[in-house]
A and B are shown apart, each in its own frame.
Chain A
């Protein structure tokens, strides 16, 4: 898992850094080129300044004790959900779990609705 993550990270980072690098050099060339060049880089400077301000806010937030436990909400959310579902009037698998290896076939329309027709699926799933 970790190794794959590294491969993916490098696979994404290297080409994108290369892309940004060449774009950046292009912009420098443009800037040096003519009078219009200064205009061309103004949005980039604009975005850099805005993200710098954002970064300062972020650092301020970290220093003020936010993000101490950044992963906590994802567990709380899951616990809440599971508790709600255990009290709910349906089975947790409803609408999502089906047996593996089910072959796709033409649906048989108009067949009578047997309320128990899915029971086997659940019992195999355990």
Chain B
């Protein structure tokens, strides 16, 4: 068994790998199997915070918006989110920005509420964008923190609005100047504005205090 080749192949190669996969990979999948996975359309449909930002983009950059997306609607918002996420992955944003707030190191005081599983249960987190390194800040509570103009200028040339920022410039998100975001530019801004927009504490994440509502029963 242990000196034979089939033993090495079956026990060490296959057996231990499968054991590890079952006990570490499959367990969370089974635990969360009842949490529904939201599609992009569902994410776009009932999110007034995000729709507000998307419409704001169409007012600020009317020609560009009309050229690339037409009018703001649930469908075009879903389209922008999808392309935004794709761009976020393809440009490697996730290697310098994380998307989870940990329950330690006073992160909830800096960023806002600690991340929960259900926040990640949607198609835009497939594969999940936990991130690996924070050269720049965590982005999971970034939506609504800055205006769309700030983001446009920041993507065009980060040092315009954030002195000393080591973030690379992304002029290819624009048709030549920061007030002309192109298809990818509008998409990536929409995606960043989406992050955290589903939370009740949006957009005052870390300073948010829930208001005591009068009891419904009375």
Nearest Cβ on chain B to A28's Cβ, whole angstroms: 21
Whether A86 is near chain B, meaning CB under 8 Å from some CB there, is no
Q: Are B23 and A66 in contact (CB under 8 A)?
A: no
Q: Are B23 and A43 in contact (CB under 8 A)?
A: yes
Indicate which residue in A47, A57, A64, A66 contacts B11 across the interface (CB closer than 8 Å).
A57
Nearest Cβ on chain B to A82's Cβ, whole angstroms: 24
Complex interface residues of chain A between 13 and 52 (CB less than 8 A to chain B):
43, 46-47, 50
Assembled-state Cα–Cα distance A14/B19 (Å): 30
Whether B3 is near chain A, meaning CB under 8 Å from some CB there, is yes
Set of chain B residues within 8 Å of A43, measured between Cβ atoms:
23
Complex interface residues of chain A between 40 and 73 (CB less than 8 A to chain B):
43, 46-47, 50, 54, 57-58, 60-61, 64, 66-67
Closest to A54 in B: B11
Assembled-state Cα–Cα distance A43/B2 (Å): 25
Indicate which residue in B2, B4, B23 contacts A58 across the interface (CB closer than 8 Å).
B2
Q: Are B23 and A61 in contact (CB under 8 A)?
A: no
Q: Are A61 and B3 in contact (CB under 8 A)?
A: yes
Whether B211 is near chain A, meaning CB under 8 Å from some CB there, is no
Nearest Cβ on chain B to A63's Cβ, whole angstroms: 11
Indicate which residue in A46, A47, A50, A67 contacts B2 across the interface (CB closer than 8 Å).
A67
Assembled-state Cα–Cα distance A43/B3 (Å): 29
Assembled-state Cα–Cα distance A50/B2 (Å): 16
Set of chain B residues within 8 Å of A54, measured between Cβ atoms:
11
Set of chain B residues within 8 Å of A57, measured between Cβ atoms:
1-2, 11
A 72-88 to B, binary, CB cutoff 8 A, 1 in contact else 0: 00000000000000000
Closest to A62 in B: B2
Q: Are A67 and B3 in contact (CB under 8 A)?
A: yes
Q: Are B2 and A66 in contact (CB under 8 A)?
A: yes
Q: Are A66 and B19 in contact (CB under 8 A)?
A: no
Assembled-state Cα–Cα distance A44/B7 (Å): 25
Closest to B24 in A: A43
Set of chain A residues within 8 Å of B3, measured between Cβ atoms:
61, 66-67
Set of chain B residues within 8 Å of A61, measured between Cβ atoms:
1-3, 7
Closest to B22 in A: A46
Nearest Cβ on chain B to A94's Cβ, whole angstroms: 33
Closest to A43 in B: B23
B 1-44 to A, binary, CB cutoff 8 A, 1 in contact else 0: 11110010001000000010001000000000000000000000
Nearest Cβ on chain A to B154's Cβ, whole angstroms: 42
Assembled-state Cα–Cα distance A46/B19 (Å): 10
Closest to B11 in A: A57
Q: Which residues of A approach B to under 8 Å, CB–CB? A: 43, 46-47, 50, 54, 57-58, 60-61, 64, 66-67
- Ranked 8 nearest A-B pairs via Cβ: A61-B1, A66-B3, A61-B2, A46-B23, A57-B1, A50-B19, A66-B2, A58-B2
User: Can you list 17 pairs linking A and B with CB atoms under 8 Å apart?
Assistant: A43-B23, A46-B23, A47-B23, A50-B19, A54-B11, A57-B2, A58-B2, A60-B1, A61-B1, A61-B2, A61-B3, A61-B7, A64-B1, A66-B2, A66-B3, A66-B4, A67-B2
